[in-house]
Structure 1
Amino acid sequence: MRFTRIVATAAAATIAATGLVACSGADDSSTIKIGTTDADQKAWSVFTDIAAEEGIELEVVPFSDYSPVNEALAQGELDVNKFQHIKYLAEYNVGSGQDLKIVGSTEIYPLALFWKDHSSIDGIDGEEVAIPNDPSNQGRAINVLVQAGLVTLKEGEVTDPTPADIDAAASKVKVTPIDAAQTPTVFNEGKPAIINNSWLDRAGITPDEAVFEDDPNSTQAEPYINVFASRSEDIDDETLNKLVELWHSAEVMAAVDEDSKGTAVEVSRDKEELNDVLARLEEEAK
């Protein structure tokens, strides 16, 4: 199994397994309502069963789109959610004026460069590389190429670079931002492209076809760690913290690995560290 653990240098807090109660922000029910956009994945059924064994009743609330999930949490319709990375949460908080926080980390999905009929980036100099043009992926895609040594930025390391930050004369490839849905088409035409995980399966591309992927341990990858989020007053709630612990159980991690076809990388980071990253990204987004 390709699952890799990333454990922070600071030890995660030990979560008490007793005295579990529903969040104060929810209704009077003892059920914990958790929102997500991928409720059909195997990991959720495994997670729900394990939580029940610990005396926690979960109601997984499915959403078909990202945009309403944080708002439902902020308005008290959910107790917690798990669907987003830190950067997305930071942008939501800044744009909405809300103050959602991170209860714990889950996993990260490396972003990769694909080049049909190639097993490495050898010979890629001079090629035109397609990257997703959406705000959630464009900067990260550019940094994938920076890590690969194919692109040089004018100002050195930048958390969320744009094409304007690229030093074209010093770079080995040209970058062309396009709609993320079109990146598999470019790949199938024989041109290199950075394709995010959500489009791989639909296009029949396997993760092991990647010729390069970003390092999930790098500072540049921190914004893309996926998290459990709650209202700020609930981040120390024992039940929510117990759920984070249970998500990292061997059974759930095996299901996540199966759902992601081996691409997910488990991330266990201290809650304070994660919220520090969130605060930094919020400042950058203002």
Structure 2
Amino acid sequence: MSGNTPLIEAPKKRGGLYALIAAAVVVVIAVVVGIVVAVNGANSSNADGGGAGDNAITEGKGSAADPVKIGVVGASDPYWELYKDAAADEGISIELVNFSEYPLPNPALTEGELDLNQFQHIVYLAQYNEDAGEDLTPIGATAIYPLALYSTQYDSVDDIPEGSTVAVPNDPSNLARSLLVLQSAGLVELKGGGSIFSSLADIDEANSKVKVTALEAALTATSLPDVAAAILNNDFVADAGLEFSDAIAKDDPTDPNALPYVNVFAARADDKDNELYLKLVQIFQDTKSVQDGLIEVSGDTAVTLKTPVADLVASLAKVQSDVAAQG
């Protein structure tokens, strides 16, 4: 090639120039169309949940970046991990927030530190709402657990000596329920037959076999060496080194009158119709491994339930009204 030869040879015909220009225009149009399609596709993908399926949640509450926070007592129970896995299969991320004491999860939910909690029955929730002036509400049932009496010194209720001391939880709802268990076992007699509002003041001491002391729920288990027997909530039975089969007396969770003691998922009133939260209730109720795990952890004592939410809300309203009247 000589230095007088151009680097690019010019087209020899005008038609060739037109063809080149037309080809360039086609390329530009193709690029523009490609960009438009890509942008529209991305927007559609975001609107549909990131293109990962109808159940996927890629942003907002329930995503990995912003999981649904559920307050519980006993997060180490194996069925909670099964529940998290089941929710993840539906594209929902859960963060369990564990509490060691019952008085803590409701204020945390009220203050927005939690999205839901699941640890309490209706009577406990009603008492909290009335005392705190709040409006937490049940959005789904989980199970009902019998409340039982345990002893490390005596094998039966009949062996408990007259005049000895029995410990019970001191929160009002479990205290009343505990006293009813003791009455059924023949250890105390309650004035007027007792109710879900019974307190230590309602014990007819002259006609009762034992004395009763009320302690924070977690402490009833540790009190066993010092008392004849104690009522233990299910969450603390294993902590005391006991089996559920060691109970020497308990109430009947299948009694229709036991509805106020059904455990529930609770939410703030503004979230009672939140579809994501209701979906989480459904996952809990419909996942067999979760239900089986819950029953196993309870020592086969729990009765799992799908009580209609309307019935739970009605029961809460009735109990809360009764609590207000007692006040």
TM-score, scaled to structure 1: 0.78
Q: Secondary structure at the match of 2:157?
A: coil
Superposed CA RMSD in Å reads: 3.2
Tell me, yes or no, if the aligned pair for 1:113 and 1:210 is still in contact at 8 Å.
yes
1:160 maps to 2:224? no
CA shift for structure 1 position 228: 0.3
CA shift for structure 1 position 214: 0.8
Distance 1:132 1:190, change over 3 A: closer
CA shift for structure 1 position 53: 1.5
Relative contact order higher in (CA < 8 Å, ≥ 6 apart):
1
Which has the larger displacement, 265-274 or 123-132?
Answer: 123-132
Distance 1:82 1:20, change over 3 A: farther
Q: Secondary structure at the match of 2:118?
A: strand
Which has more helix, going by share of residues?
2
Per-residue deviation, residues 213-267 of structure 1 (Å, max 9, x unmatched): 1111236643332210112132223322222222122100122233333343323
1:257 maps to 2:300? no
Per-residue deviation, residues 64-95 of structure 1 (Å, max 9, x unmatched): 54444323333434322212222222222122
1:35-74 matched pairs, under 5 angstroms: 35-74=71-110
Tell me how far apart the structure 2 counterparts of residues 36 and 189 of structure 1 sit (CA, whole Å): 29
Counterpart of 1:95 in structure 2 is: 131
Tell me, yes or no, if the aligned pair for 2:169 and 2:232 is still in contact at 8 Å.
no
1:285 maps to 2:323? yes
Counterpart of 1:222 in structure 2 is: 259
Structure 1: gaps of 5 or more residues: 1-17
1:176 maps to 2:228? no
Counterpart of 2:184 in structure 1 is: 147
Tell me how far apart the structure 1 counterparts of residues 125 and 212 of structure 2 sit (CA, whole Å): 27
Distance 1:131 1:99, change over 3 A: same
1:76-91 matched pairs, under 5 angstroms: 76-91=112-127
CA shift for structure 1 position 161: 0.8
Counterpart of 1:15 in structure 2 is: none
Q: Percent identity?
A: 38
Per-residue deviation, residues 31-57 of structure 1 (Å, max 9, x unmatched): 433222332221111001111222322
Q: Secondary structure at the match of 2:192?
A: coil
CA shift for structure 1 position 181: 5.6
Tell me how far apart the structure 2 counterparts of residues 235 and 26 of structure 1 sit (CA, whole Å): 15
Which residue identity is paired with 1:134?
N
Counterpart of 1:3 in structure 2 is: none
Aligned equivalent of 1:242, options 279, 284, 308: 279
Per-residue deviation, residues 86-125 of structure 1 (Å, max 9, x unmatched): 2222222122222111001112332112244655434557
Which residue identity is paired with 2:122?
I
Tell me how far apart the structure 1 counterparts of residues 154 and 177 of structure 2 sit (CA, whole Å): 22
Distance 1:153 1:214, change over 3 A: same
Tell me how far apart the structure 2 counterparts of residues 56 and 229 of structure 1 sit (CA, whole Å): 18
Counterpart of 2:238 in structure 1 is: 201
Distance 1:75 1:195, change over 3 A: closer
Distance 1:155 1:213, change over 3 A: same
Tell me, yes or no, if the aligned pair for 1:138 and 1:177 is still in contact at 8 Å.
no
CA shift for structure 1 position 183: 4.4
Tell me how far apart the structure 2 counterparts of residues 133 and 49 of structure 1 sit (CA, whole Å): 34
CA shift for structure 1 position 126: 3.3
CA shift for structure 1 position 144: 0.4
Tell me, yes or no, if the aligned pair for 1:20 and 1:238 is still in contact at 8 Å.
no
Tell me how far apart the structure 2 counterparts of residues 124 and 71 of structure 1 sit (CA, whole Å): 39
Per-residue deviation, residues 113-147 of structure 1 (Å, max 9, x unmatched): 22446554345573534022512432111010223
1:273 maps to 2:290? no
**Count of residues paired in the alignment:** 266
Distance 1:62 1:167, change over 3 A: closer
